[in-house]
Amino acid sequence: MNEESHEHRHDSHPEIIKRLKRAEGHLKSVIAMIEGGRPCLDIAQQLHAVEKAITNAKRTLIQDHLDHCLEDTVGSLDREQRQTMAEFKTITKYL
């Protein structure tokens, strides 16, 4: 993994951290549920919540990256290029 020497922060990062900490709490709960012999359906529902929280955090991070880093790199775009960029951002929601 190539790390740059400058800090890389965006306004969305605190929200992403909050989502990941929530997922961490859910995951700890899942582990306790398994250790406590809880029903599989309950465990599966909690795992789904963990998965969804991580997916949403990832989606927010990717969208923010596209909004800031990619546009900063390519610079000003004409109308057609902006449409292509908008479509690219939309399709990343399906990752």
The tens digit of pLDDT for each residue in 47-70 reads 999 999 999 899 888 888 877 776
- How distant is the alpha carbon of residue 22 from its chain centre? 13
Number of C-alpha atoms within 13 angstroms, CB side, residue 46?
18
Confidence (pLDDT) at 95: 72
pLDDT value, residue 2: 52
The pLDDT value recorded for residue 5 is 52
How far is the C-alpha of 88 from the C-alpha of 50, rounded, in Å?
Answer: 27
- pLDDT at residue 37 greater than cutoff 90: yes
Q: What token pair was written down for 95?
A: 């990752």
The secondary structure of residue 22, as a DSSP letter, is H
